[in-house]
Amino acid sequence: MAKPVEDDSLWIRRFHPRPDSEVRLVCLPHAGGSASFYFPMSDMMGTSVEVLSVQYPGRQDRRAEPCISSIPELADLVAAALVPWADRPLVFFGHSMGATLGFEVARRLERDHGIVLVGLFASARRAPSRKRHETVHQRDDRGIITELQRLSGTNSQIMGDEELLRMVLPAIRADYRAAETYEYDPGPKLRCPIVSLVGDDDPKVTMDEARAWGEHTESSFDFQVFPGGHFYLASHQSEIVNAISDHVLTQLRLKPSQ
Catalytic residue, candidates 96, 123, 137, 196: 96
Is residue 96 annotated as part of the catalytic site, yes or no?
yes
Instruction: Check if the beta carbon of residue 192 is closer than 8 Å to that of residue 118.
Output: yes
Choose the catalytic residue: 137, 216, 230, 247.
230
Question: Catalytic: 257?
Answer: no
Q: Catalytic residue positions? A: 96, 230
